[in-house]
């Protein structure tokens, strides 16, 4: 019987201490408990809607930026950005001048490559006319 009373007393102390500890931990934290009044929410919503209806003027509005259609089928020697711009299918980068131009595909006996660098550009050699040999 003594043991039961002591056990109950200890449990009561533990429960009471646990409640105080949890309430203190909430008070000690920097986390705020946000509560909103219904009228404040209505005012905030009305303000947000009114901002959507304001005229921001043409200067502040985003406008789509449409690039003009890309010119393809460029002839040999013309400047290019990508190989798909060239009629031959080879935009070759000149390492010394850093310029890109449309060049013919390599024929039998010429140096050729199937390795492109980034952005669909070839360096040093164009691809072969019929496969990589």
The domain spanning residue 103 has which CATH number?
A: 2.10.80.10
Q: Alpha-carbon distance 48 to 96, whole Å?
A: 58
Question: In which domain, by residue range, is 88 found?
Answer: 70-133
Q: Is residue 29 part of a domain?
A: no
Q: Is residue 88 part of a domain?
A: yes
Q: Is residue 112 part of a domain?
A: yes
CA nearest to 82, candidates 97, 94, 66, 93? 93
- Which phi and psi (to 5°) does residue 19 adopt? -65, -40
Q: Is residue 129 part of a domain?
A: yes
Q: Is residue 28 part of a domain?
A: no
Task: Give the pTM.
Answer: 0.48
Sequential pLDDT tens for the chain (133 residues): 554 554 455 555 544 444 444 555 555 555 545 555 676 677 777 877 777 766 656 666 677 777 788 888 999 999 999 999 999 999 999 888 889 999 999 888 889 887 887 778 999 899 888 755 4
Q: Is residue 90 part of a domain?
A: yes
Domain count within the chain: 1
Residue with tokens 């290019």: 80
Q: Is residue 111 part of a domain?
A: yes
Alpha helical stretches, state H, the chain: 2-28, 38-53, 57-60
């Amino acid at each position: 019987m003594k043991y039961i009373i002591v056990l109950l007393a200890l449990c009561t102390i533990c429960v009471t201490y646990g409640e105080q500890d949890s309430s203190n931990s909430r008070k000690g934290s920097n986390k705020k408990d946000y509560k909103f009044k219904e009228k404040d929410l209505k005012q905030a919503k009305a303000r947000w809607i009114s901002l959507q209806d304001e005229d921001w003027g043409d200067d502040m509005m985003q406008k789509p930026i449409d690039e003009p259609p890309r010119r393809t089928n460029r002839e040999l020697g013309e400047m290019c950005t990508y190989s798909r711009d060239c009629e031959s299918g080879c935009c070759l980068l000149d390492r010394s001048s850093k310029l890109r131009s449309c060049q013919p595909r390599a024929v039998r006996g010429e140096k050729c490559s199937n390795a492109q660098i980034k952005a669909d550009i070839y360096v040093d050699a164009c691809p072969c006319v019929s496969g990589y040999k």
